[in-house]
Structure 1
Amino acid sequence: MKFLWSVVPLLIITLFSCSHDEDIDVPAATKGKAKLDIGDAKGLMVYENSALSGGRVKTSGSTLYKLLPSGESRLVKFVNADGSAIDTTKMTMVVEVYNMMKLTDDYILLSGNFQVNDSIGNPLVYTNLLVRTVDGAIYDFGESVPSSRDDDPAYYQDGNNNIYYRYGSMIMKMSLADPDNITREAYLPDGQTAGGYAVDQEGNCLYTGGNGIKVRKASGGLYADMSGAFGSMFTTLDNRLILVEGQDKRIIQYKVENGNVTKEILFSLYDYANANFTGTESTAYTSNVGGSWYFTRAEDEDFIYFIGGWAWSRISKSDYVAHSLGAFPEMKILGITDTHIYGRDNYKFYKVDKSTFQLEPIGLPATDTYEIYSATMSREGEITFSALRYSDGVKIVATIKADGTMVIIDEHSDRKLQALERIN
């Protein structure tokens, strides 16, 4: 597999802006390898398509913009491998971006309709492009695009930089060591399908399959636990394969050493409640902690936080005992820093102090109402988001700085941000 446009001696790439009124450079590939000019971007934004202003032609796909460190947004263009502008004279290429996924810290996956002509005018059609975020280099990803469920991460990565992701009910193992020659394989044994799954640093894969919990060992063998346990599963930062059992409310570890799998109950909610509480205290403890296990998680070096629809809890990694943290609004977790957990609901952003567990709304002015469409957070706690501002019906893209101030990046009345990812 080569750079996508290395075989094309001369192409015209036409990208249309949805509403920016600046002159749009129309790039095209010359001899050599084309790439996207995203090396200076800290984020990428895909807008839904809408009629264009200024009488320009309407495209049939989404429009891709980059977010610069200055806070400005710019239409993403194609350039030559050395970053120079691309001459446009003979052939046409259309790029329609419908969605994107941050596949790893180094690569982002763009899905859509990508059509080019070869050197003698024959059309070439692609649907998925792998883009290296540091320099914008582009590769043909092919098919078998990752899919996910609400309880799945986008991917797992082992200690050898292999990528594991869901493709329907299959788990795929992929190597990007040479992106010109992407290799991938179905990781589970023939006939095996996965519900939930998790992969540790050695490449051992815990998954629900058939009527039990199974481990596809990195060495190739298979382990099956047919005890009837079920629930959600994940890998911790300290490389534990964990099952959160729904019915019996237990935290179970599956450990693989020298090709052997051992099962260990790290924590039993009911046993702990019976030993430490009585009456209504026991009922409240099991209800609050058990209820939090069904939603999402955040993790740092010392704790695993379970973020419930109305109650939170955390487990200490030193003894794997769960403690109730109290009631909170239902929210989606955006990220975690050394001091705070950040989240959002449909109308507000929040941060929760990890030492006191005090909840604080952040960023959005109290004088207006915002309906949040999408959001992403940097490691430093800076949030970039798209939303509908109720006071004037305008769709905005904005950043909430680490100090809590909000800065508008873009605002339009006729289009919605369809996808948003931080990349650098």
Structure 2
Amino acid sequence: MTAPRALRGSRTARVPRHDDRRRTFPALPPRPGTQGDFAATWWGNAWVESMEETALDTARLQRGRKYAGSGHVDAITVTPGRVTAYVHGSRPRPYRTEIRLRTLDDEGWEDLLDAAAARPDHIAALLDKDMPHTLAASADLLPTAGDLTPDCSCPDDGYPCKHAAALCYQTARLLDEDPFVLFLMRGRGEQEVLADLTRRSLTRAATERAATPPPMPTVAAAQALAPRTRPALPPPFPVPAQPGRPPSYPQVSGAPDPLALDLLASEAAARAHTFLTTGLDPVGALTPWQDAVRLAAAHPGSGLTASTRALYRDLAAALDRTPTDLARAVAAWRQGGPAGLAALEEPWDPPAGPFDRARPALVAADFPHFRPWRNRLSTGSLQLRFGRDTLWYGYESDRGREDWWPRGTPDTDPVGALAALLGR
């Protein structure tokens, strides 16, 4: 069952599609009420989460949410990797606002389209303007924390400013109405995607018909019951190339969350397959906390949809942690796996060597204000942590708050890690 969508189907049907990779949507009407989730679907809220998790000022988010709900965002144009609109602010002239995101490469599209074509229920869901969880996760279709880059012509240097936040919230309403807008953001238009899915479905159906096995041979009952020496048992079946896919779990009132069931079943299948092929449990050496962080980090959402909030809440409560602790640990795991989590949680005293050479290298690169403490170099809002794996991990905090969150990509060079943190 899909979430109710009051806007679905009325607006996009009237938009001419001269160019399948460029769509412009008229300004959406004001949205009454600003409490609860802004979007009506899980994927619309996942889009909002990717911005909210990296925002440095919640006050700007709230103002942007009010701007979106009050109709300050003009017509929205969507092209591959880009969402643009004019947003009205406090000045008479509106600001040109833009959100950029990564498009999928050819391999990513192959994974996504193969996953959709392999299951007729996925195609049916898309045609009904619904987005299956497993399909969205098959090729990182939904943005994760840090995947959206806002830009605005206003003088506000917030990340994001309230105009970019308003555009992000309003874009979530477009995704509620038509998930194919998300495909367009990632690089391909609706007609192009549907044509490719049709071709793959026909090819798959023809292949399956051609591979129909012959009928199994029969044995007469007298022959089967005749006394005889039983042959040796046949060898075991070979291990399949990939773990099996769990069934689709329905959304039933009072039943466990279907997304959590799908996550646990997929996890069990993957661990069993690895154990059969290698004799090793890939997560057996992890502590309960590390395993909980790993599970949450593998989840396609970002922690703010109803289903993902429940997952974070339950995992954190089981280990006497808070959902914020878990969200911060997930960000560290996605940054560097177990080593990234260790960099978050374990201050240590590195031996003489790379750590001692870091400050002169930063000074030479015009970053002289980093202060050392154990394995960390800090300014008021930036921090580099030297991990036991000899990589540098970037962190960021609001100035004066000491609320450090992992950001950027680890690097063997402190200057390179700082450049990734600053987006250079």
TM-score, normalized by length of structure 2?
Answer: 0.29
Larger strand fraction of residues: 1
TM-score, normalized by length of structure 1?
Answer: 0.29
Larger helix fraction of residues: 2
Of structures 1 and 2, the one with the larger relative CO (CA 8 A, separation 6+) is 2
